[in-house]
Amino acid sequence: MYGLLLAVGVSCQTQKGVSTQTDEAPAQKKTQDDTKPYNEVITAEATSDEGLFTTHFVADKLYFEIPLEMLEKDMLLVSRIAGVPTGFGGGYINAGSKANEQVVRWSKRGNHIDMKVISFENESEEGSPIYQSVAANNFFPILFSSKIAAYNDERTSAVIEVSDLFKEEVTAINGVSPELRKRYKVKKLDKSRSYIESANAFPENIEVKHVMTYEAEEPPERDQAGTITMMMNQSMILLPEEQMQPRLADHRVGWFTTRKYDYNSDELKSDDYRIINRWQLVPKDIEAYKRGELVEPVEPIVWYIDPATPEKWRPYFRQGIEDWNVAFEAAGFKNAVIAKDPPSKEEDPDFSPEDVRYSVVRYVASTTRNAMGPSVTDPRTGEIIESDIIWYHNHLRSYRNRYMIEAGAQKPSARTLNTPEAEIGEMMRMVIAHEVGHALGLPHNMKASAAYPTDSLRSAKFTQKYGLTPSIMDYARVNYVAQPGDEEVRYIRMMGPYDLYAINWGYRYIPEADSPQEEKPILSQWILEKAGDPVYEFGNGYGGIDPQSQRESLGDDQVKASKYGLANLKKVVPNLVEWTSKDNTDYSELTEVYRELTYMWRGYVSHVVANVGGVYETRKTADQEGIVYTPVPEEKQKSAVAFLNEHAFTTPEWLLDRELLERIEATGAIERVQSLQSRALNDLLDEGRLQRMISNEQVNGNKVYTAVEMMNDLRKGIFEELYRSQKVDAYRRNIQRAYVDAAAEYVQNLKKEENNDVTSTDIIALMRGDLEQLRRDLRARRNRTNDQLSVYHWNDLIARINTALSVDA
């Protein structure tokens, strides 16, 4: 049966902040089962909190009073990082980051209570022949065990001390991964500086915060005195007794999923499948829903606005949340998503963002420049139970800077550090909508933006109707394609047709289907109805193979889009000093914006690089006609290399604005450009990319852009001064050295003793041949320029090539 949540009844003797015994309580003798009398364990000094369990603090000890009826119940233990030191994880791990998530059960074993980790990944029908084997080969580990210290007077609940669960180093719930332990050379947990900060009980969850201090030889920052101190938040959440009917995932529609293995499958192996993560929405009036009427759900999805949210931003947050109602209307629901202001103390004195019954958009006063849309999911069914979306205050800064950089050439309102409220508010609204999308179960769809023709993004009529991309779940934050003079164009992303399609696919109630298997042909048919339309395609952007599936990319032609973006950057740079300067302030804002502008230039270049050796992916199943993978056409690849030679590997004079640079640094421009160009070159000469080009030539014959052609085109572009007998400047000398060193690195692989896959490919032959050709050209042409330093440079490159090719000697 699927349906209602379990109604929890807890037998407890305490209230929040009230001790459990009076000072006059008489001393009791030790009980026959080796436990102590209740009042000797939970003394008059105890600070208690009543909820799913009752938590008791007695001095520095933490006790759980666990109702016996809660034993063997499935609970989700979610471990999050609540506070981190500066620079932890390279700045990519923030407060709110999830460290682990696992299902646990509390079980009684004699005079002990064990907490076992339960897995629902491997499944088998109870009573089937293989069931016993599945159970025996998936024995549940014990995460924590504690002797029962006492029972309550009615013996309906057991008291155990749980201090060591949070004060000792328990790998399954800490926030320092093995990789980070190695990076920071963590030695051990210092128990004297580790403690439990708080424990709060709510009707359906327990929240414990604890501080952990590690001794580390190389902590993230030098001033951390050889220690890493962090705060963890452990959430223990009761899972529903009545389980929702799961929905089987399909890789053609993007969803966060939970993996399962079915050992009762008729296949000659365990059946590996996934279910999607989604909230449970059931129509109040199923008959009206069947007739196609919009119907409210029995339980809508509600987010509360954090009381800490500034008043002026609350309307934008509410809009970003409730924007999703348009998508849910496509799925047959009205008022499915509701945004609420936080209740006052008078309205709800017990309201807390920590209570799992409430989902909250949290506003965090932090220098972190990010937003997150995490959720808590029942791994048995994929049901999303709760979500706390996080907005970090300084994320405003990210959008202010990006707006100036990518829209400043076109929009006067973007040429300021004080972005107008309506425009920054619209950006915040769409960020919240994006994060709500994650919390509803949708991952990034980086392929969406490639559905729109690049030049359509310069059209006011098109962008105002369709936005910048078919999905808010794409990274397409600002319209950098639009050019000065393109009037009334939309610059900020918005929800699109893919979002409505995905929500309908995942949330539409299918009353005629009594199982996930009965839903499957219906769901597949909905996909087939949209097949062939790029607006409804999905790609997560991972792997770097498909150039149509990239973060921050706009339009279906990456070369054209990057040319437009670069043209705008060239107009922005000469104005940055004026746009970022304030009286009586230094140039730190200018430094920050200029640095981020260089990152965006690097992004435009990487969008183009992905076309070389790229492969388009169109997700299909075996019942669909056509192939899944198609190489990028030859002309598009050649166009990409031509763009790189012209715009990425030439000296970026436009970026080296003297009026700007002399305000922010004494030196560093050469190194910065060298880093940007070398990164692009190494990406272009990536082993996987070259191997795809070689394999593609073998499969598709001569109708492809070959690796040899690419190297020839690249060499002629990077060494243009050699072939034109011209002087070489410092920036070009750097990229030419990087070219020789990259090719030489491949050849030098032959000297390495360890097994290396590249030695068994054609890549070394390709690089050896290219270096030999370059050496011949250098020898023949090196003295045709009158610049002595250029001649020295050519000679140096010959020497480097000689060293690289001497591996056979």
- Tell me: pLDDT of 93 over 80: no
Q: How many C-beta neighbours within 10 Å does residue 143 have?
A: 17
Is 106 in contact with 115 (CB distance < 8 Å)?
yes
- What are the φ and ψ backbone dihedral angles of 306, each rounded to 5 degrees? -55, 130
Percent of the chain surpassing pLDDT 70: 90
Per-residue model confidence (pLDDT) at position 429: 96
- Give me the mean pLDDT over the 88-114 stretch: 85
Per-residue model confidence (pLDDT) at position 7: 30
Per-residue model confidence (pLDDT) at position 809: 45
Per-residue model confidence (pLDDT) at position 373: 83
Secondary structure of residue 236 in the 3-state scheme: strand
- Give me the mean pLDDT over the 585-604 stretch: 96
Per-residue model confidence (pLDDT) at position 361: 92
For the chain, the average pLDDT equals: 89
- Give me the mean pLDDT over the 676-704 stretch: 90
Per-residue model confidence (pLDDT) at position 775: 96
Per-residue model confidence (pLDDT) at position 364: 79
Per-residue model confidence (pLDDT) at position 122: 54
Residue 120 pLDDT class (50, 70, 90 cuts): confident
- Tell me: pLDDT of 9 over 60: no
Residue carrying the six token digits 């190194």 = 671
Per-residue model confidence (pLDDT) at position 25: 42
- Tell me: pLDDT of 360 over 50: yes
- Give me the mean pLDDT over the 438-448 stretch: 97
217 burial class (0-12, 13-18, 19+ CB within 10 angstroms)? Answer: exposed
- pLDDT per position as a tens digit, 183-196: 999 999 999 999 99
- Give me the mean pLDDT over the 83-110 stretch: 83
Per-residue model confidence (pLDDT) at position 30: 56
Among 71-85, 113-127, 670-684, 694-708, the range scoring the smallest mean pLDDT is 113-127
Which residue has better confidence, 68 or 702? 68
DSSP string, 769-800: HHHHHHHHHHHHHTTSSS-HHHHHHHHHHHHH
Residue 355 pLDDT class (50, 70, 90 cuts): confident
Per-residue model confidence (pLDDT) at position 493: 95
Per-residue model confidence (pLDDT) at position 21: 39
Identify the CA nearest to 166 among candidates 57, 40, 75, 46.
Answer: 57
Among 21-30, 205-214, 226-235, the range scoring the smallest mean pLDDT is 21-30
- pLDDT per position as a tens digit, 245-278: 999 999 999 999 998 876 555 554 456 789 999 9
Token pair for 490:
């939309």
Per-residue model confidence (pLDDT) at position 17: 39
CA distance 692 to 694: 5
Which residue has better confidence, 314 or 132? 314
DSSP code of 438? H
- pLDDT per position as a tens digit, 128-144: 554 455 454 555 889 99
Q: How many C-beta neighbours within 10 Å does residue 471 have?
A: 32
- Give me the mean pLDDT over the 223-233 stretch: 84
Per-residue model confidence (pLDDT) at position 271: 67
384 burial class (0-12, 13-18, 19+ CB within 10 angstroms)? Answer: buried
Residue 83 pLDDT class (50, 70, 90 cuts): confident
- Give me the mean pLDDT over the 782-807 stretch: 92
- Tell me: pLDDT of 808 over 60: no
- Tell me: pLDDT of 124 over 60: no
Secondary structure of residue 28 in the 3-state scheme: coil
Q: How many C-beta neighbours within 10 Å does residue 112 have?
A: 14
Torsion of CA 359, 365, 367, 370, to 10 degrees: 20
Among 8-17, 98-107, 545-554, the range scoring the smallest mean pLDDT is 8-17
Per-residue model confidence (pLDDT) at position 19: 36
- Tell me: pLDDT of 198 over 70: yes
- pLDDT per position as a tens digit, 292-309: 999 999 999 999 998 889
Residue carrying the six token digits 């009762």 = 264
- pLDDT per position as a tens digit, 455-495: 999 999 999 999 999 999 999 999 999 999 999 999 999 99
- pLDDT per position as a tens digit, 601-654: 999 999 999 999 999 999 999 999 999 999 999 999 999 999 999 999 999 999
Per-residue model confidence (pLDDT) at position 754: 56
CA distance 521 to 536: 18
Which residue has better confidence, 12 or 70? 70
Among 9-23, 226-240, 571-585, the range scoring the smallest mean pLDDT is 9-23
Residue 243 pLDDT class (50, 70, 90 cuts): very high
- pLDDT per position as a tens digit, 484-504: 999 999 999 999 999 999 999
Identify the CA nearest to 79 among candidates 193, 181, 179, 166.
Answer: 166
Per-residue model confidence (pLDDT) at position 197: 94
Give the length of the chain: 809
Per-residue model confidence (pLDDT) at position 128: 53
Token pair for 11:
């037998």
- pLDDT per position as a tens digit, 41-74: 999 999 999 999 999 999 999 999 999 999 999 9
Cβ burial 769-792 (10 Å sphere, 16+ → b, else e): ebbeebbebbeebbeebeeeebee
C-alpha distances in Å from residue 150, one per residue of 107, 163, 166, 464: 16, 16, 20, 67
Per-residue model confidence (pLDDT) at position 263: 52
CA distance 468 to 553: 10
